[in-house]
Amino acid sequence: MKIGIIGTGNMGQALTAALSDAGHEVMLGSRDRDRATKMAGEMGAGVCGGSNEEAAQFSRLFILAVPFDACEEVLSSCGSLEGKVIIDVTNPIDPEALRLTVGPETSGGEEVAKLAPGANVVKAFNTVHAEVVENPDFGDDMPTCFYCGEDEEAKETVAELIEECGLEPIDCGPIRASRYLEAMAGLIVQLSVNMGWGVHNAFFFAER
Ligand SMILES: NC(=O)c1ccc[n+]([C@@H]2O[C@H](COP(=O)([O-])OP(=O)(O)OC[C@H]3O[C@@H](n4cnc5c(N)ncnc54)[C@H](OP(=O)(O)O)[C@@H]3O)[C@@H](O)[C@H]2O)c1
């Protein structure tokens, strides 16, 4: 399928590589169209570059891989969002202060949904390091990728994309569950950055 990805940073690049390797046609979007076009040219045949608006309008589905605080500005530059599926990978966290920057009575996912009325927002990939999206190999088990959102059809599409990235999708329910997923992201950043674990680690959800 065609997929737009907004944000040319760690997550934008990792998801572009993973999804184009899985056979999707990806447009990488940037505030700087020339940068995205140049980057896309270096990433292989299935990738093209464009502005943020072009990436958002490239397809029915786009991934928002920008700092949480930039979401309002970025989404307002994307044109009509009616009917879009938006995968929100953002995390409203302040690692130095060990806190979420929104909540507890809301979450980044819910706030993104408010910024995009008429779109179906699915929170996903936010608890997985970019380095694990790039290389999900941990031996026999697949790292877990939790996701949540309101629309079942949109979530089914996102679950398929998660699996194609070599991760195990676990549905966590409505978008309100972003409150938990963003706290989990805070924990993995705490372990990685402040506790010295680095970025080659992941959550595994096990059942017996
Ligand atoms: N890194 C991870 O392992 C990881 C894992 C899970 C979730 N996340 C979340 O995913 C999001 C992106 O993370 P990242 O590590 O990819 O960040 P990053 O490397 O800093 O890249 C963010 C990108 O967002 C774009 N952007 C648009 N508006 C911006 C603004 N006002 N200020 C700065 N950048 C802006 C920039 O691309 P252009 O300049 O091309 O527009 C920038 O390269 C964050 O919300 C983060 O919490 C990150």
Q: What is the pLDDT along the chain (208 residues), one digit of tens a residue?
A: 999 999 999 999 999 999 999 999 999 999 999 999 999 999 988 999 999 999 999 999 999 999 999 999 999 999 999 999 999 999 999 999 999 999 999 999 999 999 999 999 999 999 999 999 999 999 999 999 999 999 999 999 999 999 999 999 999 999 999 999 999 999 999 999 999 999 999 999 999 9
Q: How far is the CA of 207 from the centre of ligand 1 (A)?
A: 33
| Model pLDDT, residue 44 | 85
What confidence score (pLDDT) does residue 45 get? Answer: 87
What is the rounded CA–CA span in Å between residue 157 and residue 30?
A: 24
Structural domain boundaries in the chain: 2-194
Expressed in angstroms and rounded, the spacing between residue 208 Cα and the centre of ligand 1 is: 36
Residues with CB under 6 A from ligand 1: 7-12, 30-32, 35, 65-68, 70, 74, 89-91, 125-126, 128-130
Three-state secondary-structure class, residue 171: strand
Q: Give the model's pLDDT for residue 191.
A: 97
Cβ pair 202, 129 in contact under 8 A: yes
Q: Of 93, 119, 62, 120, which Cα lies nearest the Cα of 179?
A: 93
Alpha helices in 31-129 (DSSP H): 33-41, 52-57, 71-76, 108-115
CATH, domain range 2-194: 3.40.50.720
Q: How far is the CA of 26 from the centre of ligand 1 (A)?
A: 17
pLDDT of residue 110: 98
